[in-house]
């Protein structure tokens, strides 16, 4: 793998940047691999990387229907945090945050990881109670969360001039999550892809999987692509939104529904807000990108959707909520908006498991799965390589639904 550094940049600058090598190869598709990963998004690429790095499994093909890194990893709000509610969730996300923090060095690719803190702005006592519950449980797992006063909230977010006493919902305080941060989403996909490629993993773009293939023994045997059958004893489905589309080709039903979650950005402006701001009571969150855009998210659309549109009323709800706390943004302008597909389970927790079809693994049900990418890849690779679930994901089974043992995880952001 070509080393990236200030020195290589200077050296190449002198030679007109003609000597940079490809970040990943485009080898011909073979008809057999040890492991096939469907979906070159964050989770698929991370799984490929950790399979190679942690378990030495490099005979891996990542099959992508469109372009690498073009799924939800390309269309999220890059918030990384671990302030979850349940024992089953918190340590997983703590691990993910930790991995993210070391990723730039590990992958020799600048993720622009900005551990800039998230502040939950609280307007309601029941919400404050719920967040304090999180705080005390998170503490067990080493995740940081502290209550701060309204004055401190305002000191840290000077642009927050709304929510004064007497307003519709006055700010009553905040919770500060110093582990939280943002990074550069494209870098995550590209960095994992480059590093996986360097260890021998193959990336195949524009290679849609049409169906899964089962053997006579009922186990998974491979996949059918537009360019023919590709065999593998282990297949991982990591295609947020389209999980059931694929699993149903082999008659496997999963308790998943696909929804559209949208986000939007403002025009770029000079630095104004230095932390991730989240307001669970009003249902919006945002951070300012390094380029200066406010990257804003709200609630998901109701109804199932495979369309990346935004519902005007959902969008307006988010904007009104934001302006209530940040009235100076009234003159700020919307620059761009987009959506992404999530598949959500009945309890809003993921499914990270081998399915009833032997050798077929799914990584699905991610609801805010961007922050889960490193730990999701690490644990899925572990499960695939060892045949046993990773301790951090042992509860995220398909089997839990057989006894309706839900892991109700409603998250701190509206988008869960």
Partner 1 sequence: MLLIKCPFCRERSEIEFVYGGPVGPDRPDPTICTDDEWLDYLLMVPNPTGPVEERWWHAKGCGDWFTIWRSTVTHEVVDRPGDE
Partner 2 sequence: MNNRLAEGGRIDRSRPLTFTFNGSRFQGYEGDTLASALLANGVALTARSFKYHRPRGIFGAGVEEPATLVELLGKDACGNRPPTTVPLRDGLSAKSVNCWPSPRFDFGAVTELFARFIPAGFYYKTFKWPNWHLFEPSIRRAAGLAAAPADPPSSGHFEARNGHTDILIAGAGPAGLMAALTAGRSGARVFLADEGNEAGGALLSRKLSVDGQTALDWVAAAVAELAGMPNVVHLQNSTVWAYREHNLLCVNELDPDHPTLLERNWRVRAKQVIVATGAIERAIVFANNDRPGVMLSSAVQTYVNRYAALPGQRAVFFTNNDSAYAAAADFAAAGGSVAAIVDSRTDVPKTAKAQAEGIEILAGSVVCDVTGRGRVKSARVSDLGGGAERFIECDLLGVSGGWSPTVHLFSQSRGTLTFDETLVAFVPDVPAQKCICAGASAGKLSLQDTLQDAADKAVAALGAAGFKAAKLVAPKAEDAPYSAEPLWRVECNAKGKAFLDIQNDVTVDDVHLAIREGYSNVEHVKRYTTGGMGIDQGKTGNINIIGTVAMQQGTALPDIGTTTFRAPYTPVSFGAISGLREGSVVLPYRHTPVTKWNHERGANMYEAGARWRRPGYFPQSGENFQEAVNRECLAVRDRVGVYDGSPLGKFELKGRDVGNYLDLLYTNIMSTLSPGNGRYGLMLSEDGLILDDGVAMRLGEHRWIVSTSTGHADAMSQHMEKVLQFDHPDWEVMITTVTSQWNNATICGPRARDVLQALGTDIDLSPDAFPFMSLRDGTVAGLPARVVRVSFTGELSFEVNVAPRHMAELWDKVMAAGAGFGIEPVGSEGSHVLRVEKGFLSLGHEVDGTVDAYDLGMGWIMSKKKPDYIGKRSVEIRRAGGSVRRELVGLLPEDPDEMIPEGAPLTPGGSKQATEGLVTACVWSVVNGRWVALALLENGHSRHGEIAHVRLRSRVIPAQVTKPVFHDPDGKRLRS
Residues that bind partner 1 (CB under 8 A): 242, 244-245, 253-258, 302-307, 309, 311-313, 343, 346, 401-402, 404
Q: Residue written as tokens 């929804």?
A: 259
Cα separation, 332 vs 322, in Å, equals 12
CA 261/CA 155 separation, integer angstroms: 31
Backbone phi, psi, residue 233, to 5°: -80, -20
22 binds partner 2 per the rule CB under 8 A: yes
Least distance from partner 1 to the Cβ atom of residue 190, Å: 28
Instruction: List the single partner that 165 binds among partner 1, partner 2, none, CB under 5 to 8 Å by kind.
Output: none
Residue placing its CB nearer to partner 1 in the complex, 199 or 346 = 346
**Rounded to an integer, what distance in angstroms lies between the CA atom of residue 274 and that of residue 277?**
9
How many residues form the binding site for partner 2 (CB under 8 A)? Answer: 102
Task: Tell the smallest beta-carbon distance from residue 325 to partner 1 (Å).
Answer: 23
Nearer to partner 1, 18 or 253 (CB): 253
Query: By CB under 8 A, is residue 74 in contact with partner 2?
Result: yes
To partner 1, the closest distance from the beta carbon of 303 in angstroms equals 5
121 binds, among partner 1, partner 2, none (CB under 5 to 8 A by kind): none
Query: 31 or 316: whose CB is closer to partner 2?
Result: 316
Contact flag: residue 164 with partner 2 (CB under 8 A): no
In the region spanning residues 206 to 265, those forming contacts with partner 2, defined by CB under 8 A, are: none
**Is the Cβ of residue 288 or residue 379 nearer to partner 2 in the bound state?**
288
Sign of CA dihedral 180, 184, 185, 189: negative
Does position 148 interact with partner 2 (CB under 8 A)? The reply is no
292 CB-near residues (< 8 Å, 6+ apart):
268, 269, 270, 271
The vertex-7 CA angle with 6 and 11, nearest 5°, equals 120
Which of the 8 DSSP states describes residue 32?
B
Stretch that binds partner 2, among 49-57, 163-171, 232-240, 370-378 (CB under 8 A): 163-171
Give the gyration radius of the chain's Cα atoms: 22
Select 62 or 254, whichever has its Cβ closest to partner 1: 254
Asked if 83 and 97 touch (Cβ cutoff 8 Å), the reply is: no
Window of 39-47, 242-250, 307-315, 368-376 that interacts with partner 2 by CB under 8 A:
307-315
Shorter beta-carbon distance to partner 1: residue 25 or 313 = 313
Q: Which is nearer to partner 1, 183 or 225 (CB)?
A: 225
In the complex, least distance from residue 10 CB atom to partner 1, rounded to whole angstroms:
49
Cα distance between residue 306 and residue 68, in whole Å: 19
401 binds, among partner 2, partner 1, none (CB under 5 to 8 A by kind): partner 1
Among 55, 337, 385, 394, binds partner 2 (CB under 8 A): 337
| Interacting span for partner 2 (CB under 8 A) from 40-48, 55-63, 186-194, 220-228 | 186-194
Least separation, in Å, of the C-beta of 402 and partner 1?
Answer: 7
Whole-angstrom distance, CA of residue 284 vs CA of residue 317: 9
Kindly state whether residue 329 participates in binding partner 2, applying the rule CB under 8 A: yes
Which residues is 211 bridged to in the sheet? 224
Q: Which of residues 102-131 bind partner 2 (CB under 8 A)?
A: 104-105, 108-115, 124-126, 129-130
Secondary structure class of 354 (helix, strand, coil)? strand
Longest dimension (CA), the chain: 69
Contacts of residue 331, defined as CB under 8 A and 6 or more positions apart, other chains included, come to none
Q: For residue 23, state whether it binds partner 2 (rule: CB under 8 A).
A: yes
Residue 290 contact, options partner 1, partner 2, none, Cβ 5-8 Å cut-off depending on partner type: partner 2
**Smallest separation, CB 43 to partner 2 (Å):** 19
Answer yes or no whether residue 312 interacts with partner 2 by CB under 8 A: yes
Q: Is 268 in the site for partner 2 (CB under 8 A)?
A: yes
Return all residues near 171 (Cβ < 8 A) that are at least 6 apart.
Answer: 121, 122, 123, 150, 153, 154, 160, 163, 164, 325
**Please, are residues 26 and 224 in contact by the beta-carbon 8 Å criterion?**
no
3-state secondary structure of 319: helix
Confirm if 383 and 395 have CB atoms less than 8 A apart.
no
Closest CB 342 distance from partner 1, rounded Å: 12
Phi and psi dihedrals of 285, rounded to 5?
-150, 150
Among residues 300, 297, 404, 410, the alpha carbon closest in space to that of 348 is found at 410
Q: Give the nearest distance from C-beta 220 to partner 2 in angstroms.
A: 27
């Amino acid at each position: 793998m070509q080393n990236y550094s200030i020195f290589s940049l200077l050296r190449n600058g002198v030679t007109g940047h003609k000597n940079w090598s490809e970040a990943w190869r485009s080898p011909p598709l073979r008809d057999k691999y040890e492991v096939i990963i469907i979906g070159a998004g964050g989770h698929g690429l991370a799984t490929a990387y950790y399979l190679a790095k942690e378990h030495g499994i490099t005979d891996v093909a990542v099959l992508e229907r469109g372009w690498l890194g073009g799924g939800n990893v390309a269309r999220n709000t890059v918030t990384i945090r671990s302030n979850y509610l349940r024992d089953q969730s918190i340590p997983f996300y703590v691990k993910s945050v930790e991995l993210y923090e070391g990723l730039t060095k590990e992958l020799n690719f600048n993720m622009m990881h900005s551990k800039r803190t998230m502040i939950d702005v609280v307007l309601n006592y029941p919400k404050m109670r719920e967040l304090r519950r999180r705080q005390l449980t998170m503490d067990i797992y080493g995740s940081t969360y502290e209550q701060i006063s309204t004055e401190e909230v305002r000191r840290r977010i000077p642009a927050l001039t709304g929510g004064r006493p007497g307003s519709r919902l006055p700010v009553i305080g905040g919770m500060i999550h110093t582990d939280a941060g943002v990074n550069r989403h494209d870098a995550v996909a590209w960095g994992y892809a480059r590093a996986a490629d360097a260890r021998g993993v193959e990336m195949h773009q524009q290679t849609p999987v049409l169906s899964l293939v089962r053997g006579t023994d009922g186990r998974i045997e491979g996949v059918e692509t537009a360019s023919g059958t590709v065999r593998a004893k282990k297949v991982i489905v990591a295609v947020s939104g389209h999980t059931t589309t694929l699993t149903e080709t082999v008659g496997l039903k999963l308790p998943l529904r696909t929804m559209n979650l949208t986000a939007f950005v403002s025009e770029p402006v000079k630095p104004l807000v230095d932390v991730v701001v989240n307001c669970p009571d009003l249902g919006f969150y945002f951070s300012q990108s390094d380029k200066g855009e406010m990257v804003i998210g709200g609630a998901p659309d109701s109804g199932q959707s495979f369309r990346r549109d935004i519902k005007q009323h959902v969008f307006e709800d988010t904007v009104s909520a934001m302006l209530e706390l940040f009235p100076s943004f009234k003159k700020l302008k919307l620059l761009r908006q987009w959506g992404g597909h999530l598949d959500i389970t009945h309890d809003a927790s993921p499914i990270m498991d081998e399915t009833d079809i032997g050798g077929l693994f799914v990584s699905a049900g991610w609801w805010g799965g961007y922050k889960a990418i490193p730990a999701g890849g690490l644990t899925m690779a572990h499960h695939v390589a060892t045949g046993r679930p990773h301790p951090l994901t042992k509860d995220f089974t398909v089997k839990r639904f057989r006894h309706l043992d839900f892991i109700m995880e409603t998250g701190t952001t509206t988008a869960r």
